[in-house]
Amino acid sequence: MSNGADASRVVTSSQMRSMGLSFVGRYFSQYPSKNLTRGEVVDLGTNGFDIFSIYEDGVNDYMGGYNKGIENAHRALNQGQMVGMPLTRPFFFAVDKDVDPNDYNLHEYFSGISNVLGGMRRGCYGSTGVLRALKHAELIDFTFRTMSVGWSGGAGNPGEFNITQTGYINDAFDRDANATGDFGQWRYNWTPSMPSPEPTVHLWIIVMCTNEDPKRPAGETTNSGQVEIIQNALIAEGFLHKGSFVAGRWDTPTKDAYAGWQGKCGYRGHDADGIPGMTTLSKLGANHSFHVVS
């Protein structure tokens, strides 16, 4: 565990050193005055301080649902690239109020974020209840718990979250502590030394996509990152052809291709309906280096 902070204004390495901090959370948003700058990135990184990235326009961002999630994720990506943020690092999208963990708009908001960022880049700043619900729904990968322990879920358990906000340092800095070695941090011209794990495909998410994608307007997807993993495997198996389908969408060509894979696995009739099951999806994953969980 090390000491850090988060701030919505420019931070210098001399300030970090004077407060005895090793990392700082800085913002991306619609508002330039609160946003991380490239100058900060260079200054902090060359002086040995880590950054983690927060995105927030306002406390009601989540109420915009799926479309707001799409919009904010794209803005975060663009702003991150402009300051030199490594493309493998996560953003913590803020839910800075006491929200019902089962709120429909909350889950739709993070579904939109997931559609843009895929896996391992999705974080949330929020209450224990919100973080647990989004983690359980496989909509986030990194967690940053607010200091407001009176909100849903209380304080949580020791070490449960990647980062915990513990109080105030002064009127410009909130105090934070990390509980994991990789808590989403990054640095100028540096990323943590970590193995590249096999991607994980969640069967329930794929089944959801098979139901929801056909209902969405043309070109829209439910969870493009998960579906594209399967589409790439079906291309490699020869059942799906580039240019014949919408990337990330469980469309008719993708369904037909998966039915072909089910046939190759020995299924016939209603058992080869183009809807993945654990057995056939696990076989596809074993052939093409992705892990399948229920």
* Of 165, 143, 171, 139, nearest in space to 3 by CA: 165
pLDDT(190) > 90: no
- In 42-151, the DSSP E strands lie at 50-55, 91-94, 122-126, 142-145
Q: What is residue 80's predicted lDDT score, i.e. its pLDDT?
A: 96
pLDDT(106) > 80: yes
Q: What is residue 191's predicted lDDT score, i.e. its pLDDT?
A: 54
pLDDT tens digits, 160-178: 999 999 999 999 999 999 9
Looking at 3.30.470.10, 3.20.20.80, 3.40.640.10, 1.20.1270.10, the CATH number of the domain 3-178 comes to 3.20.20.80
**Token pair in block for residue 250:** 């469980």
* Of 47, 56, 57, nearest in space to 23 by CA: 47
The C-alpha angle with vertex 175 and arms to 171 and 178, in degrees rounded to 5, equals: 160
Residues whose CB falls within 8 Å of the CB of residue 152, separated by 6 or more in sequence, listed in order: 98, 99, 100, 101, 127, 128, 129, 130
Per-residue confidence band for 119, with pLDDT thresholds at 50, 70 and 90: confident
pLDDT tens digits, 255-292: 999 999 999 999 999 999 999 999 999 999 999 988 88
* Of 106, 27, 24, nearest in space to 66 by CA: 106
pLDDT averaged over every residue in the chain:
93
pLDDT(143) > 70: yes
pLDDT(195) > 60: no
- Average pLDDT (132-148) is 95
Domain residue spans of the chain: 3-178, 200-293
